[in-house]
Structure 1
Amino acid sequence: MGGHLYALDFDGVLCDSCGESSLSAVKAAKLRWPWVFELVDATMEGWIVEQMYTLRPVVETGYENLLLVRLLVEILVPSARHSSVSEGLSVQEILENWLKLKPTIMSEWNEDRDSLVDLFGRIRDDWIENDLPGWIGANRFYPGTADALKFSSSEIYIVTTKQGRFAEALLKELAGIEIPSERIYGLGTGPKVKVLQQLQQMPQHQGLTLHFIEDRLATLKNVIKEPALERWNLYLVNWGYNTPKEREEASDISRVKVIDLSDFSRNLK
């Protein structure tokens, strides 16, 4: 047997969803914390959405967008501050210290992950139901990625922290690609390292060359830590939600290959 299996991250590899996720996060944050947004005008809101493009590399799971939006409001509006970390905080400091900041603000705001995940999903569902073209239009596929998927002769799986129904909808509505739902491992299907273990253990995948393409270096590092996943070829894309510093670091890791869009299209076909 021969052939190739590609496990692909979605946001930051196939789809640039930062515009949609930022707008959805603002809508959800307004519902969750209406008192925080009382002094936020349209200009401030525009600034917040702009900063989310800078901060997108720290987001592992969608609900974190809500936390970032509220934290940006606290930076802008002193009277809205309910955390000990927001005073004097810069966007760059959030980018560099998010893993330390997140548990602090979650605790100080008395928030729980599951409620935020549920709210973020409901906001997106409502947007899709009431304005599907608007929701679709707030996303875009990176150049060449949709065609690479359409014409690939490899086994393709989507492995993402995005809720699977949204990835499936975007593939169908924006790219014209129908990937069976059982090939989309979204939020709730377990950590990516566990999904990769499942995929490589499936009888139909024995003998295939395994490839995992990501835009988050931290995720690839987690794979490297697992001896059982040594068969996977690992790739970090240079167009997704990562930083020049992360790409430079990745270039020094022997298991990881940094690729560009042309590499992606060529390999997948």
Structure 2
Amino acid sequence: MGGDLYALDFDGVLCDSCGESSLSAVKAAKIRWPSIFNEVDAALEQWIVDQMHILRPVVETGYENLLLVRLLLELRIPSIRKSSVSAGLTVDGILENWLELKPVILKEWVEDRDCLIDLFGRVRDEWIEHEFSGWIGANRFYPGVAEALKFSSSTIYISRFADALLRELAGVIIPSDRIYGLGTGPKVKVLKQLQGRPEHQGLRFHFVEDRLATLKNVIKEPELDGWNLYLGKWGYNTEKERQEAEGITRIHLLDLPDFSMKLK
């Protein structure tokens, strides 16, 4: 039979949603901590959004964007500091130490993870419902990706809330059964399901991801040894992670132009 099957992460591989998630986080943070934003003008708000682009690789779950927004404000406005970690902290320090910082600030700010998850999701949903064009416009596809998807001869599966963005921004229609959402389960499980389908037998399997940790989880599964694994260098990962990936034989580092060529 021959042919190729590509399982593609959405955020950080096809689409840069950092602008949208950062603005959603600022909206949600204003609701959760209104008094903190009394001293925030438009210039400082823009600075926060700019720094969020740097910090995006540490975000695993959307609510963490809220924590980052508040922590960035504590860096800039000493009078609002409520955490023991913010004094002397830098943006690079957050990037390097986020896993250690996160539980500390959650505890010291007396915040509940589930409540922040609900708030972030609600704010995003309301933005989509009441200002769909603005929400769409806060996202962008990486250069060349939309064209590559349109003309690809490979079998393609895409993760997460891809449908509306693909349709509105890229002009691409992907069948609903080719989009696997968060409810489908971990990506390791999804890859096992895809390779087990009868119609996929004989295809070459490729998984393109921007998170090194996800690819390392795939490598731990002997059942997935047949997958070609790629780390998208243009996505939400750091130079340190890319250097680590270079030392892992299963993982191929991929540039954006090469990725678009592979899809076509």
What is the TM-score normalised by the length of structure 2? Answer: 0.93
Number of aligned pairs? Answer: 264
Structure 1: distance between partners of 2:177 and 2:104: 36
5+ residue gaps, structure 2, are: none
2:170 is the counterpart of 1:175: yes
The 5 A counterparts of 1:2-13 are: 2-13=2-13
What do residues 110-141 of structure 1 show as CA deviations (whole Å, max 9, x unaligned)?
33443333322222222222222222221111
Task: Deviation per CA, 1:7-66: give whole Å up to 9, x if none.
Answer: 111111111111111111100111122233232222221211111111111112222211
1:28–1:120 Cα contact (<8 Å) kept: yes
Match of 1:262?
257
- CA distance in 1: counterparts of 2:51 and 2:109, whole angstroms: 21
Aligned partner of 1:151 in structure 2 is 151
- Would you say the 8 A contact 1:29–1:66 is kept in 2? yes
Taking a change above 3 Å as real, the CA distance of residues 191 and 248 of structure 1, as seen in their structure-2 partners, is same
Name the CA distance, whole Å, in 1 between partners of 2:189 and 2:36. Answer: 38
| 1:102 to 2:97 alignment | no
1:179-200 Cα distance to aligned partner (Å, 9 max, x none): 2333222333322222222222
Tell me which residue corresponds to 1:83: 83
Deviates more, 1:138-147 or 1:112-121: 112-121
Structure 2 partner of 1:206: 201
Contact 1:56 1:241 in 2 (8 A): yes
Instruction: Calculate the TM-score normalised by the size of structure 1.
Output: 0.91
Give the deviation of 1:256 after TM superposition.
0.7
- 2:247 partner letter: D
3-state SS, counterpart of residue 60 of structure 2 = coil
Equivalent pair of 1:106/1:112 in contact (CA under 8 Å): yes
Output the CA distance in 1 between the equivalents of 2:164 and 2:63. 19
Report % sequence identity: 73
Deviates more, 1:192-201 or 1:64-73: 192-201
Secondary structure, counterpart of 1:246 in structure 2: helix
Distance change (3 Å), C-alpha of 1:113 and 1:186: farther
Counterpart in the other structure of 2:58: 58
1:190 & 1:113 partners in 2: Cα distance? 21
RMSD: 1.7
CA distance in 1, matches of 2:108, 2:184: 29
Aligned partner of 1:217 in structure 2 is 212
Letter in 2 for 1:188: G
Deviations 1:148-195, CA, capped at 9 Å, x for gaps: 1111122211134xxx2xx22111111111223332223333222222
Contact 1:159-1:195 at 8 Å conserved across structures: no
2:189 alignment partner, one of 185, 194, 202: 194
- Could you tell me which runs of 5 or more consecutive residues in structure 1 were left unpaired when the two chains were aligned: none
- Distance in 2 (alpha carbons) for counterparts of 1:229 and 1:113: 33
Superposition map of 1:105-116 within 5 A: 105-116=105-116
The whole-number CA distance in structure 2 between the counterparts of 1:100 and 1:179 is 39
